[in-house]
Homo-oligomer: A and B are copies of this chain.
Amino acid sequence: MKVGILGFGNVAAATIESFLANQDLILAKARVPIELVRIATRTPSRAHGRAPVGCQIGNDPHALVDDPQLDVVIELTGNVPLGRELVLRALEQGKHVITANKALLARDGAQIMACAARAGRRVLFEGAVAVSIPIIKTLREAAAANRIASVVGILNGTSNYVLSQMSEHGADFSTALAEAQRRGYAEADPTLDINGEDAAHKITLLASLAFGVPIDFEQVRFKGISDIEREDIEFAKRLGHQVKLIAQAKRVGGGLVIGVQPTLVPNRSMLAMVGSSMNGIALQGDLLGSAFLYGSGAGGKETSSAVLADLLELANGSESNSATGAYNMGFRDAAPTDAIAEGRPESMDAFYIRLRLDDRAGTLAEVSRVLATAGISAHSLLQDAAQGSLTDLVVITHPVSEERLRHTLPQLRHAAGRDHSVVVLPVLEDCGC
């Protein structure tokens, strides 16, 4: 099996290094020999001396994709428009594709998977989500016979590092982000990590694998962590919770809810144990019950583990003229009808609400009256001693519809005395782990 690699960044370099370091092991597990024969990169000089002997190093990605000797193209450009063009062209020419490009798959996955299906070729992407956790293979194969109820995960290591720093060291958001950048857990431009978009790319793919719905990034709502204040992390801790950036895809009634947002996670949940830049995913299925998977979400070497697993999968599963193995997105076509999302169902969640109150008699009574009138009941409640003329009231509600809660917010603000801001965060109920 002859393999070409597009790109020579961190992940590509690590993939080649790991392949060479563990070649004995990899070849002992492969039904056919695997050869890395060609690399295309904008900076060929970086690759010289680091590629296998005899590997051709060039700077023309199109020539690589067109090379008739290749069976597999590994796309590691990290670039969406270029990646799309190259992946589609590789598939059209009968090559199997491995990619770790989650943004590409989340945005253009439907087109790419349709192209792969027409060509009868595989698109494997274990390196696109939570690299040290075999979540793609788990959803596509290990849990394949289950009706999945929910996939709930911490899928962005940068955000988790920042939130963990804020929780453990009382840092504020910008200090924690600077620390993450200093340590290499955040990129120079961390926008996609911090604003939730990267996690949204990933949950888009997991939702499609879990429920058989088409890949559709536009349906996924996401919100990041840049507004999270130290105070809320502290209050959450005092109420037995951690604030985490939670991505989830869950069945609610006849439809699906898919989204990313900062969420309070109870300490008893394994997701609360996911610290530093690690990832964790809780899974619920009708047969397996609950499972939880934990591991690194990024890193060149860690991603190479996933990319090389995909390469072995191709070496062991794909005949030259037909694809074997699971379907690329688990399902042959669309999902059975009961798994298809219809509209945006109303889900009931518990919420954390922090109100800044005027510290005067009657304010608490007025706030309580507004909540009671709206049918929102408190599960736990915390009020701090006043600082000056203001005090914080924190409520964790019993499950309530988000819409009803949003409608009540103006009245709560009014009841609080002035137009103080109100912080509202969802609270993760049962995810089984």
Binding site for B on A (CB under 8 A): 18-19, 21-22, 24-26, 28-31, 126, 131-134, 137-138, 141-147, 212, 270, 273, 285-296, 299, 301-302, 304-306, 308-309, 311-313, 316-317, 319, 324-327, 330-333, 335-336, 339, 433
Q: Are A28 and B325 in contact (CB under 8 A)?
A: no
Q: How many copies does the complex hold?
A: 2
Q: Which residues of chain B are within 8 angstroms of A132 by Cβ–Cβ distance?
A: 288-291
Q: Are B26 and A144 in contact (CB under 8 A)?
A: yes
Contact flag A312-B326 (CB < 8 Å), given A22-B286, A28-B335: yes
Contact flag A325-B331 (CB < 8 Å), given A142-B309, A145-B304, A147-B22: no
Q: Which residues of chain B are within 8 angstroms of A305 by Cβ–Cβ distance?
A: 143, 145-146, 285, 287-288
Find the B residue at minimum CB distance from A300: B287
Complex Cα distance A28/B337, Å? 11
Q: Which residues of chain B are within 8 angstroms of A330 by Cβ–Cβ distance?
A: 29
Q: Which residues of chain B are within 8 angstroms of A131 by Cβ–Cβ distance?
A: 288
Q: Which residues of chain B are within 8 angstroms of A141 by Cβ–Cβ distance?
A: 134, 137, 309, 312-313
Q: Are B26 and A309 in contact (CB under 8 A)?
A: no
Q: Which residues of chain B are within 8 angstroms of A137 by Cβ–Cβ distance?
A: 134, 137-138, 141-142
Instruction: Choose from B26, B29, B313, B327 the contact partner of A29 (Cβ within 8 Å).
Output: B327
The smallest beta-carbon distance between A326 and chain B, in angstroms, is 5
Q: Which residues of chain B are within 8 angstroms of A306 by Cβ–Cβ distance?
A: 142, 288
Known: A137-B141, A141-B309. 10 other contacts (CB 8 A): A22-B146, A28-B212, A29-B144, A137-B142, A142-B306, A270-B270, A288-B302, A288-B306, A291-B293, A291-B295
Interface secondary structure of A, over-half rule? mixed
Complex Cα distance A220/B330, Å? 38
Complex Cα distance A433/B294, Å? 9
Q: Are B25 and A145 in contact (CB under 8 A)?
A: yes
Complex Cα distance A288/B26, Å? 15
Q: Which residues of chain B are within 8 angstroms of A294 by Cβ–Cβ distance?
A: 270, 291-294, 433
Complex Cα distance A309/B335, Å? 17
Complex Cα distance A326/B26, Å? 11
Instruction: Choose from B142, B324, B336 the contact partner of A316 (Cβ within 8 Å).
Output: B324
Instruction: Choose from B146, B270, B295 the contact partner of A290 (Cβ within 8 Å).
Output: B295
